[in-house]
């Protein structure tokens, strides 16, 4: 698959006994403590299915047998369809798809170097740059259009993204029923109608729990409408170890799994066969600053563990990675992004979100999109491991070349170096003198040059004209309301 990482050298962070214990811990939490479900529609579904529902507190207690039965009804052959078929992303438990992260509120202006509130143009530019990157597979709009009225942002965000990428779009700004209805209508305009959208949903919908152990009604009801339209559901949980979850990583993972299983039970009762993706961003609290430690090693570990648990239950996983609390594309950004991404990639998470943003997913830098794409490809090469075969052992070539000679002129070298060796785009491996002769450019400068090249050379297949017309009509209707 294009723009994906095949994981042959898998390294999981949980033992089989660890998986088993977290599984039973999550089921016990659902049965004994339960989850507050603040949707009357969902409560009725759960009550009819045999759950104990406390009307006053909205707390629902889930029989383990029901939870496990509903886990088997999930659509396990999920494809995140691109606007063009070459960008289809199949979630097959064997490949990792790197995803831009979403809903940041700030942008570092590429031209003026001014940090400001994000605009629709930033949604468009980041989608366009990401579309060109080999180390990027799925587009979660990096930022949101804060230069338009709040009630129309979901329309502007999706329009700007549709017009600037051919890749699948996962959206988190459709948090109400009417916003989902707009998203469905606009996405349908891009593919030729709602039935075409059902066959090839080019958009998926992100909905969340409210950790610990709460699911708010408005967002859940919106998700049910998205499922009715055939959109895959990414159910995002965020128990923070030490804040909204136990300080121990295993405890917070168990809480997150419980929330995700509760969500799936609701969606499968409502619409059996819904494509449901376990999703999480599980960063611990920094106890010195009382802030979220996005990009910590614990963040990477919880993402990897959560992916394992998702796969054990038969679900694809979307998890956080490439996250940093740094405010600049500096050394801290590099090591935090690597630390939070390497474990979930090697564990085989289906999707990892985070590229392009700094300040714990708050500010978009176009240069950081390029840098993170390079990091993802470096880790991707690690995930492929070393293939051992007669062809790769190359004993016949060794015998042919003999002692004291090089392999540069061998056909075997030409056939294999592009697949065996990571070939960077912005990493500078030249000598000091060559680097100075080329202008002594920093990593940020080289990434900026690549952004300029993308704006100059990259093209995106035009979207249907109906998208612009539909977006304009929807904005007018919502503005009146």
Q: Is residue 345 within 8 Å of residue 5, measured between CB atoms?
A: yes
The pLDDT, as a whole number, for residue 184 is: 98
Q: What fold, for 4-15+71-384?
A: TIM Barrel (3.20.20)
Q: What does pTM read for this prediction?
A: 0.95
First to last CA, the chain: 43
Other Cβ atoms less than 10 A from the Cβ of 390: the count is: 8
Q: What is the mean pLDDT of each run of 10 residues along the chain (481 residues)?
A: 86 97 98 98 98 97 98 92 96 95 93 96 98 96 96 97 98 95 98 97 97 97 98 97 96 98 98 97 92 93 98 97 95 96 96 95 97 96 94 96 94 93 95 97 97 98 97 94 79
| Strand, helix or coil for residue 11 | coil
The CA distance from 65 to 253, in Å, is 21
| Strand, helix or coil for residue 107 | strand
The candidate with the shortest Cα–Cα distance to 299, out of 279, 318, 320, 277, is 320
| 86 Cβ contact list (under 8 Å, min separation 6) | 2, 166
Length of the chain: 481
Alpha helices in 37-144 (DSSP H): 40-48, 64-71, 120-132
SS3 breakdown of the chain: % helix, strand, coil, rounded to 5? 50, 15, 35
The pLDDT, as a whole number, for residue 219 is: 97
ω before 479 within 30° of 0 (cis)? no
The pLDDT, as a whole number, for residue 481 is: 79
Residue 108 pairs with which residues in a beta bridge? 115
Residue 219 pairs with which residues in a beta bridge? none
Q: Strands, E, within 296-454: which ranges?
A: 317-320, 351-355, 357-358, 363-364
The pLDDT, as a whole number, for residue 101 is: 85
Backbone angles phi, psi at 2, to 5 degrees: -65, 145
The pLDDT, as a whole number, for residue 1 is: 65
The candidate with the shortest Cα–Cα distance to 369, out of 204, 122, 79, is 122
Residues 54-70: tens digit of each pLDDT: 999 999 999 999 999 99
The pLDDT, as a whole number, for residue 75 is: 85
Computed from CA positions of residues 347, 353, 356, 357, in that sequence, does the dihedral angle turn out positive or negative?
negative
Q: How far is CA 469 from CA 180, 201, 313, 334, 448, in A?
A: 18, 20, 42, 42, 34
Q: 3 burial class (0-12, 13-18, 19+ CB within 10 angstroms)?
A: buried
Q: Is residue 213 within 8 Å of residue 258, measured between CB atoms?
A: yes
ω before 226 within 30° of 0 (cis)? no
Per-residue H/E/C for 42-60: HHHHHHHCCCEECCCCCEE
Q: 396 burial class (0-12, 13-18, 19+ CB within 10 angstroms)?
A: exposed
| Strand, helix or coil for residue 340 | helix
**What is the DSSP secondary-structure string of 237-265?**
E-PPBTTTB-SSHHHHHHHHHHHHHHHHH
Q: How far is CA 219 from CA 42, 201, 226, in A?
A: 12, 20, 11
Q: So where are the chain's domains?
A: 4-15+71-384, 390-420
């Amino acid at each position: 698959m294009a723009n994906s990482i095949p994981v042959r050298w898998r390294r999981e962070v949980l033992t089989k006994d660890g998986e088993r214990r977290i599984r039973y811990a999550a089921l016990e939490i659902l049965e004994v403590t339960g989850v507050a479900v603040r949707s009357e529609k969902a409560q009725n579904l759960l009550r009819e299915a045999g759950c104990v529902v406390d009307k006053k507190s909205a707390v629902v207690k889930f029989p383990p047998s029901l939870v496990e039965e509903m886990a088997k009804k999930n659509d396990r052959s999920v494809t995140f369809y691109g606007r063009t078929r070459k960008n289809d992303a199949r979630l097959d438990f064997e490949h990792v798809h790197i995803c831009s992260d979403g809903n940041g509120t700030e942008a570092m202006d590429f031209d003026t170097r001014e940090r400001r509130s994000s605009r629709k143009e930033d949604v468009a530019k980041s989608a366009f740059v990401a579309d060109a990157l080999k180390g990027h597979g799925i587009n979660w709009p990096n930022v949101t259009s804060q230069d338009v009225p709040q009630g129309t942002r979901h329309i502007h965000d999706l329009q700007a993204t549709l017009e600037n990428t051919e890749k699948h779009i996962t959206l988190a700004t459709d948090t109400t029923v009417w916003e989902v209805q707009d998203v469905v209508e606009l996405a349908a305009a891009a593919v030729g109608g709602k039935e075409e959208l059902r066959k090839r949903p080019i958009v998926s919908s992100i909905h969340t729990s409210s950790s610990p152990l709460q699911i708010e009604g408005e967002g859940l009801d919106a998700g049910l409408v998205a499922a009715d339209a055939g959109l895959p559901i990414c159910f995002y949980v965020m128990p923070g170890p030490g804040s909204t979850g136990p300080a121990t990583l295993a405890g917070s993972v168990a809480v997150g799994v419980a929330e995700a299983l509760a969500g799936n039970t609701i969606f499968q009762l409502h619409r059996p066969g819904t494509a449901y993706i376990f999703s999480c961003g599980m960063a611990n609290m920094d106890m010195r600053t009382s802030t979220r430690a996005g990009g910590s090693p614990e963040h990477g570990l919880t993402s990897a563990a959560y992916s394992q648990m998702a796969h054990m239950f038969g679900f694809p996983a979307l998890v956080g990675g490439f996250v940093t609390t740094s405010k600049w594309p500096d050394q801290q950004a590099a090591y935090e992004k690597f630390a939070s991404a390497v474990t979930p990639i090697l564990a085989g998470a289906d999707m990892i979100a985070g590229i392009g943003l700094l300040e714990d997913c708050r500010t978009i830098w176009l240069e950081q999109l390029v840098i993170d794409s390079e990091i993802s490809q470096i880790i991707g090469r690690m995930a492929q491991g070393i293939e051992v075969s007669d062809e790769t052992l190359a004993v016949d070539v060794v015998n042919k070349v003999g002692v004291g000679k090089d392999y540069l002129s061998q056909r075997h070298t030409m056939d294999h170096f592009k697949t065996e060796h990571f070939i960077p785009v912005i990493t500078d491996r030249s000598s000091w003198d060559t680097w100075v002769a080329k202008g002594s450019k920093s990593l940020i400068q080289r990434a900026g040059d690549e952004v300029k090249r993308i704006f100059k050379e990259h093209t995106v297949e035009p979207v249907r004209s109906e998208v612009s017309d539909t977006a304009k009509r929807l904005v007018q209707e919502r503005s009146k309301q």
